[in-house]
Amino acid sequence: MLAGMRYLGVDYGAKKTGLALSDEGGRMGFPHAIVATGPRLADELVALIERAGVGAVVVGESRDLAGGDNAIAPAARALGAAIALKADVPVYYEPEFYTSQQARRAPEKEQKTRREAAREPVDAAAAALILTSYLEKQHGI
């Protein structure tokens, strides 16, 4: 890992994909955006990588409760491969377990009703959790 490198975190979903960017020091992920998942997603992410000066991408690795691939995993890996090819940046995978549920339980959401919190978009926050988890491991935190 290079010091001072910026990372893009990706929480891939069938309909929406959450994005997070790290600080410029590559220490922590912050929610960035939620974009529609579609055939142009890889190209949109490559453009963001270029605009934001991203040096590496971290894609959430979806698993089922038994530890195997869930239904979304192959598409997430295909997106990672397309990004690596088109943007010429390394792509890493970080296990994601219940990141959307964790994002819904963020402290600022505690005062909202369960129904209100469930309707809020959490994909970018989940991407930030995935990215921060990866970065903490890289820094030995």
pLDDT for 89 equals 97
92 sits in the region (left: phi over 0; alpha: psi -120 to 50; else beta) called: beta
Domain boundaries, the chain: 6-138
- Asked: is 6-138 a CATH 1.10.10.60 domain? The reply is no
Give the model's pLDDT for residue 51.
Answer: 96
Task: Show pLDDT as tens, one digit a residue, over the chain (141 residues).
Answer: 445 699 999 999 999 999 999 999 999 999 999 999 999 999 999 999 999 999 999 999 988 788 888 889 999 999 999 999 999 999 999 988 655 545 455 555 455 555 544 444 688 999 999 999 999 998 886
The pTM of this model reads: 0.82
